[in-house]
């Protein structure tokens, strides 16, 4: 198995901000020249996640609202109490969604739907610089 890849770096304001990674991932895949295989997209950090969604303002708003409702920032959490921290909700949201996605690469194209983008979700409660590792396995 051969492994190629690259890094995507970005600044985010945190607080549930969602970034469309699709073009960046496609650019790494193109540079690799690989036609068939698997592409893994992994965000480093315990308050950040990667998933796929339809990236448009309504969908972004609805997902942020759902996560605010399911895992509220202002609730009582042991992580915050024991560590004098404030971002337990961010760790929980990141753990539930997960840090990575694997996308099949077929005929040089990611097997994504027309309305399916790869996104990074930054849940921390402050601005962060994020690194996403993209690997192309063939």
Nearest distance from residue 84's CB to Zn ion, in Å? 10
- By beta-carbon proximity to Zn ion, the closer residue of 17 and 93 is 93
Grouping H, G, I as helix, E, B as strand and the rest as coil, residue 61 is helix
Contacts of 80 (CB under 8 A, 6+ apart): 86, 87, 88
In angstroms, rounded to a whole number, what is the distance separating the alpha carbons of residues 50 and 98?
6
- By beta-carbon proximity to Zn ion, the closer residue of 17 and 91 is 91
- By beta-carbon proximity to Zn ion, the closer residue of 31 and 83 is 83
Question: In the bound complex, which residue of the shown chain has the CB atom lying closest to Zn ion?
Answer: 85
Nearest distance from residue 77's CB to Zn ion, in Å? 9
Nearest distance from residue 82's CB to Zn ion, in Å? 10
Contact call for residues 135 and 32 (beta carbons, < 8 A) = no
Beta bridge partners of residue 10, listed in sequence order: 130
- By beta-carbon proximity to Zn ion, the closer residue of 86 and 138 is 86
Q: Give the footprint of Zn ion on this chain (CB under 5 A).
A: 85, 87
- The number of CA neighbours under 13 Å toward the Cβ of 22 is 16
Nearest distance from residue 92's CB to Zn ion, in Å? 10
């Amino acid at each position: 198995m051969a492994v190629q890849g690259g890094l995507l770096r970005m600044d985010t304001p945190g607080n549930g901000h969602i970034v469309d990674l699709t073009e960046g991932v496609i650019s790494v895949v193109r540079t690799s020249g690989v036609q068939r295989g698997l592409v893994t997209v992994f965000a480093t950090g315990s308050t950040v996640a990667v998933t796929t969604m339809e990236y448009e303002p309504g969908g972004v708003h609805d997902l942020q609202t759902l996560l605010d409702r399911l895992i509220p920032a202002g609730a009582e959490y042991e992580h915050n109490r024991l560590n004098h921290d404030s971002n337990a909700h961010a760790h929980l949201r990141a753990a539930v969604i997960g840090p990575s996605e694997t996308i099949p690469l077929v005929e040089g194209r990611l097997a994504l739907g027309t309305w399916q983008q790869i996104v990074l979700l930054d849940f921390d409660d402050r601005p962060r610089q994020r690194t996403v590792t993209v690997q192309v396995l063939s």
